[in-house]
Structure 1
Amino acid sequence: MSKVSELPKECLWRIEKEENTYAVNAMCQRIQLESDGESEFQPGHGDVLEVTNNGKVICLHAGASSSALIFVTNQCNSNCIMCPDSVKQRTRQNTITIEYLLEYVSLLPTDLTHIDITGGEPTLLKENLPVLIEKALDQAGKAEILMLSNGRSFAVRKYSQLFYPFADRKFKIEIPIHSASGEKHDFIAGCQNSFIQTIAGIHNLLDGGVEIGIRIVVSKLNYTELNSIVDFIHYEFPDIKYINLMGMEVMGNAWKNREMVWEELENLKPYLQGVLVRCFKWGIEPRLYNFPLCLFDQKYWYNYRKSISDYKIRYFEDCEKCREREQCGGFFASTFHHTKYKVRVQ
């Protein structure tokens, strides 16, 4: 028997609770765990754990959750002006290997309903990325897999073709378009020619039947031109079925550049609601993420998604009186401390 903190550190472990509690690794090694009432961390069934060299236990996946996150890398080939990560975070050495990622995926529950693949920029895995996606699809056959990418690497048609086999699987990629102007898109993405590369990448993926969704991160730099961005998307990519309108998390680059990118939520409202109508006109499904529900007129609530991770959500004191609180995604902790927005109790 062993304590969780004493498990071998050269591999990851999944917790299995039956009459007793066991830790199982990817090689099917099985170790019975003893009760450790003094530990603050009590593992649950299905948890995937990493034990560091100093005995710290890191929960990589909570077994009680029906969704999982695959964090591929902290690094990125863009430098978005409103990115919630800092330049320091995105440029530090990446220590996550493909072997580590495949081991992690092999320990995930097989009955997951959703998996997110994110970074950084996942395509920096290059040819290993399709291998990882295939592993995830095989591990959790009923799960929908969503990958977030800036889309630039897919401008190389030969690379984009590696993802064509996923066209008939439950897999999709969401890619941001910051502006209908190439110059402004490049400025927001912090990288010259990123607009041309992203547009080419989306075309290449759509040519292979890969499902693509578009993300628009709404900031002071683009909120007044949301209609023109949607018009551009409609004419350039008639096969696009949905667009996600995303509120900012005011951290990292976004905090550093807050005077340039932050716009108060109340000022965004008419433009956000206006672009919803524009999407309806073009037969595109719009979705609202990372905003408080009460920002919008009730007739638009069916486009709203509660999306902020639990540990990041904050609510104002008045929110506790609201009958819609459970349906509302609240505020990012960083936004909560920065905004002057006055909530509307429903």
Structure 2
Amino acid sequence: MSEPVAGPQPRRTVSGRIVPRRFPTLIATVLAALVAVLLGPSTASAATWPVIARGDSGAQVTTVQHLLTQHGRTTTADGQFGPGTETQVKAFQSAVGLTADGSVGPLTWPKLVVTVQNGSSGAAVKAAQTQLNRYGYGLAVDGAFGPGTTSAAKDFQSKHGLTADGIVGPNTWNALVGGSGSGGGGGGGTRAQLAASIDANSRISLLTYHVSGIVDNDSTAQANITDTKNGTTAETSNYSDVGETEVWLSTAMLNGMLRLATERGYTFLVTEIAGGDHSSNSNHYKGIAFDADNMSVSNGTFVSACKAYGATEALDEGNHVHCAWE
């Protein structure tokens, strides 16, 4: 169809019928509205989708990793956007017809998110729970969409002008990942900032030696936090099953540790993080677990609190408590 003729005169169609000039404008308006509806929130709200790429860390990355796993591209949910995650993102993008640039932005997010609701289970639910925890809901990231997750979803939706139906669909996903988060729920600062807050918190004590009695000053709980505070990796112990290696401490784990002190008001001693000697496949060596002793509450209460803050492994070991965030 040719462009409308300039000026006030009517436009003649190919059939010879005269059409007043207001019709093209009306048709264009209707078509634009139709396109917006068809494209939906993935395009209309594209500016609110964040760009997550290699080198990023935190809850947003963990969310991407859970969603990749949901789509059959198993990815370790460690909150670190490294080469492995980038490879999986590229593979996913290629599979859904997107440019495989390895970054998760406005075009990738809408294809990556999965609608979940009461009764759903799996990695996509973990992604939703991870996001809700950015806003302070303190859900266990267990992949089971039950009453607690439903209640949190409805509350979030109500506070963000969405239909409070408890269904985490495209619009709710968009609001979740596009928001800045609040309440310390999983997105509470960078790794270095979290470590600095832990180091400065009077309720958290960090052991400066190993409970085994073996000397390796570079891998104590205090050394792990100090290194992380300074923006570097933490070290495992040279006498451990994996030897001396470097590992990034999980921001989810650090955030959980900090919230136990700042929100619950617990005092406790962190005896080991990445250091110490543990079983060969221990989560300590992945930088996602810590052991605590001398708590101001019972072991059972501490275990429950770890789970409430998203710990996927919380164990009462008798003489200490072990908490880990996958």
TM-score class, shorter: under 0.3
Greater share of strand: 1
Q: So what's the TM-score if we normalise by structure 1? A: 0.27
Greater radius of gyration (CA)? 2
TM-score relative to the length of structure 2: 0.28
